[in-house]
A and B are shown apart, each in its own frame.
Chain A
Amino acid sequence: MSVKMLTYTNQNTPIHRLTGASKLLFFVLWALTAMIIYDTRCLLAMFVIAVVIFAVSRVPFKQYSFVLYLILIFFGLNQIAIFLFSPLYGVELYGTRHDIVHLFAWYTLTWEQLFYQFNVALKYAVVVPIGLLFLLVTDPSEFAASLNRIGVSYKVAYSVAIALRYIPDIQQDFQNISFSAQARGIDISRKEKFGKRLKNVVSILLPLILTSVERIEKISTAMELRGFGRGKKRTWYRARPLRKGDYIAIAMILIITVACLVITFADGSRFYNIFK
């Protein structure tokens, strides 16, 4: 059950050298902007910037290729679903109708629909590289410190740190439990029938959750003994001061965000209409 996941590797590029806080700020603002706007011009510009940043980071392709395939599949299914459910949604949004070809039943391909789905695609294409990059270039232990830096309460930041720290351990636990269950004939793979499979999952979940509850008791006792949560603030071993590169990155994301919002909403709508 060796499943690949996106993990951090240490490289020495301008992107890697940024502090966690500026990476996080960049990612959050970038994702929010891409979420809000539907302006094709802005999205295209952001896409180009994203690709450039990705190239600068020089992350090897095979570190994220498997995720890219997953994203493409999910993305393709979503596009098909949008068309199947609402073939004329674009017409509704843009208020005009230019037919290309009538397919079957009530399915007609229109330029408006194509343009709308192209924009949906673009929204993905803008966020995915930056999202992937954020995970590939951010040291998990620096991540909690940066969450706290941008204003999240240190207790919540610590929860995130604990989650990241224990994902590999819990994966190991899950594996051990499900292997020993399989040795006793409890199978959760595709070979088992649906009802039986559900029942078998429960019999694996139970020990996993009980050990986890025990683990929670243990860790929280240890933290309490060390006086966690007494102070209003907390310092972080991995926190680093902002450097020149960080100021450039923060300035850049602020400019991009403001510019995109201004351009998008200049005409009072979040959509860019090429049909008028």
Chain B
Amino acid sequence: MAGSSGLSVKTIVAIGIGSALFVILGRFASIPSFIPNTNIEVTYALLALFALLYGPWAGLLIGLIGHTLKDAIFYGQPWFSWIIASGIFGLIVGLLTRRIRIADGEFGGMEMLRFNLAQLIANVVSWLVVAPVLDILIYSEPANKVFVQGVGAAISNTLTVAVVGTLLAIAYSKTRTKRGSLSREA
């Protein structure tokens, strides 16, 4: 899969359906947390899972398209810095989990650790670096405000993906047939 022109049909459909899920979950399934103005966004658990299942390009584009559509349809205005951060989040998770073969039902302790390490790195890069820096560059907002928002988002998203995302990945892997799971009857 080199470049967007080489996307497989399955990836294209996964991007479409993933973005639609992103929109719906972002609107209906986010839970207000104890920290004001910060929600438990289950959408990022979904995004991490789809990046794991369908690869980095799917992660990037679901983040970009899904977040843009969600902002546009429900709030009337896309907030570009956070949209780009969502895309980067999906891309990084996808890149770092490339070698996990979840489609073959492999998601044990090692893979879990790997997946969570990937999402931790992705969260730190997107919410502590990309989103606040773009907020300052694009919207020229005060630095301390955007970094506090970034820290809030990074913590809550990491925890959400760690709990919800891991549970979803385990459940998904159980629905797949394991490679070499057949055994010869004696």
Q: Is A24 an interface residue (CB 8 A)?
A: no
Q: A85–B149 Cα gap in the complex (Å)?
A: 11
Q: Is B161 an interface residue (CB 8 A)?
A: no
Asked whether A201 lies within 8 Å of B46 as measured between CB atoms, the reply is: no
Nearest Cβ on chain A to B2's Cβ, whole angstroms: 13
Asked whether B24 lies within 8 Å of A170 as measured between CB atoms, the reply is: yes
Q: Which of A42-50, A119-127, A254-262 contacts B (4 or more CB under 8 A)?
A: A119-127
Asked whether B53 lies within 8 Å of A213 as measured between CB atoms, the reply is: yes
The residue on B at minimum CB distance from A162 is B16
Nearest Cβ on chain B to A78's Cβ, whole angstroms: 8
Q: Is A198 an interface residue (CB 8 A)?
A: yes
Asked whether A71 lies within 8 Å of B145 as measured between CB atoms, the reply is: no
Q: A12–B31 Cα gap in the complex (Å)?
A: 41
Q: A206–B173 Cα gap in the complex (Å)?
A: 12
Listed residue (A132, A166, A224) with the most chain B CB atoms within 10 angstroms of its CB: A166
Q: Is B171 an interface residue (CB 8 A)?
A: yes
The residue on A at minimum CB distance from B29 is A201
Q: Which of B86-94, B109-117, B162-170, B177-185 contacts A (4 or more CB under 8 A)?
A: B162-170
Q: Is A251 an interface residue (CB 8 A)?
A: no
Q: Which residues of A contact B61 (CB under 8 A)?
A: 156, 159
The residue on B at minimum CB distance from A70 is B75
Q: Is A9 an interface residue (CB 8 A)?
A: no
- What per-residue 1/0 map shows which CB atoms of A89-132 lie under 8 Å from chain B? 10001000000000000000000000000001001100110011
* Contact A163 to B73, CB < 8 A, known contacts A85-B144, A216-B13: no
Q: Is A167 an interface residue (CB 8 A)?
A: yes
Asked whether A167 lies within 8 Å of B20 as measured between CB atoms, the reply is: yes
Asked whether A31 lies within 8 Å of B78 as measured between CB atoms, the reply is: yes
The number of chain A residues with a CB under 8 A from chain B is 71
Query: In chain B between 59 and 101, which residues have their CB closer than 8 angstroms to a CB of chain A?
Result: 61, 65-66, 69, 72-78, 80
Asked whether B31 lies within 8 Å of A163 as measured between CB atoms, the reply is: no
Asked whether A89 lies within 8 Å of B17 as measured between CB atoms, the reply is: no
The residue on A at minimum CB distance from B7 is A155
- What per-residue 1/0 map shows which CB atoms of B28-68 lie under 8 Å from chain A? 11010110010010100110010001000000010001100
Q: Which residues of B contact A123 (CB under 8 A)?
A: 139
Asked whether A163 lies within 8 Å of B23 as measured between CB atoms, the reply is: yes
Q: A70–B27 Cα gap in the complex (Å)?
A: 13
Nearest Cβ on chain A to B63's Cβ, whole angstroms: 12
Asked whether A213 lies within 8 Å of B172 as measured between CB atoms, the reply is: yes
The residue on B at minimum CB distance from A172 is B24
Q: Is B121 an interface residue (CB 8 A)?
A: no
Listed residue (A35, A155, A165) with the most chain B CB atoms within 10 angstroms of its CB: A155
Q: A167–B22 Cα gap in the complex (Å)?
A: 9
- What per-residue 1/0 map shows which CB atoms of A157-194 lie under 8 Å from chain B? 01111111111011100100000000000001000001
Asked whether B16 lies within 8 Å of A35 as measured between CB atoms, the reply is: no
Asked whether A223 lies within 8 Å of B13 as measured between CB atoms, the reply is: yes
Q: Is A17 an interface residue (CB 8 A)?
A: no
The residue on A at minimum CB distance from B81 is A35
Listed residue (B29, B33, B73, B140) with the most chain A CB atoms within 10 angstroms of its CB: B140
Query: In chain B between 96 and 128, which residues have their CB closer than 8 angstroms to a CB of chain A?
Result: none
Q: Is A208 an interface residue (CB 8 A)?
A: yes
Q: Is A272 an interface residue (CB 8 A)?
A: no
Q: Which residues of A contact B73 (CB under 8 A)?
A: 5-6, 135, 167
Given A167-B69, A170-B17, 18 more A-B residue pairs with CB atoms under 8 Å apart are A5-B74, A6-B74, A81-B145, A82-B141, A135-B72, A155-B4, A159-B13, A167-B23, A167-B73, A174-B24, A198-B163, A202-B164, A205-B25, A205-B46, A210-B171, A212-B18, A220-B9, A229-B7
Give 6 CB contacts A-B under 8 Å.
Answer: A128-B77, A170-B24, A194-B31, A202-B163, A216-B10, A220-B14
Residues of A within 8 A of B (CB): 1, 3, 5-6, 31, 35-36, 38, 64, 67-68, 70-71, 74, 77, 81-82, 84-86, 89, 93, 120, 123-124, 127-128, 131-132, 135, 153, 155-156, 158-167, 169-171, 174, 188, 194, 197-198, 201-202, 204-206, 208-210, 212-213, 215-217, 219-220, 223-224, 228-229, 270
Closest 6 CB pairs of A and B: A162-B16, A86-B142, A85-B145, A163-B19, A159-B15, A220-B13
